[in-house]
């Protein structure tokens, strides 16, 4: 089983779960959460060794991350 980040369940109201009204994507998949630059002020998890490198500042488009999400999507896009 892959642990790589992926686009997963598509937004839907057909959840199959009685108490869940919808599955939604709240944040665009290619929008960065924070830089991987360890010298920049950031949230602690941004500079972890398993963070995708090189990540731009938060709220910046992260093309290589988006490409990885599309490539690994399950189900495929």
- pLDDT, one tens digit per residue, over 40-76 is 766 666 656 777 778 888 888 999 989 999 998 888 8
Structural domain that includes position 62: 29-77
Distance CA 43, CA 59 (A): 13
> Helices (H) and strands (E) in the chain — how many of each?
1, 0
- Domain for residue 48, yes or no? yes
- The model carries a pTM of 0.67
Domain count, the chain: 1
- Domain for residue 9, yes or no? no
Distance CA 68, CA 16 (A): 28
State residue 66 phi and psi, 5-degree precision. Answer: -60, -45
**Per-residue model confidence (pLDDT) at position 46:** 61
Task: List helix spans (H) across the chain.
Answer: 63-72
Question: What's the mean pLDDT when you consider all of the chain?
Answer: 82
- Domain for residue 54, yes or no? yes
- Domain for residue 24, yes or no? no
**Is the pLDDT reported for residue 2 higher than 60?**
no
Distance CA 6, CA 72 (A): 5
């Amino acid at each position: 089983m892959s642990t790589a980040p992926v686009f997963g369940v598509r937004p839907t109201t057909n959840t199959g779960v009685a108490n869940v009204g919808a599955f939604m994507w709240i944040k665009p998949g290619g929008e960065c959460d924070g830089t991987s630059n360890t010298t920049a002020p950031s949230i602690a998890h941004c500079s972890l060794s398993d963070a995708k490198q090189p990540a731009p500042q938060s709220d910046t488009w992260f093309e290589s991350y988006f490409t990885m999400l599309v490539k690994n999507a399950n189900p495929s896009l």
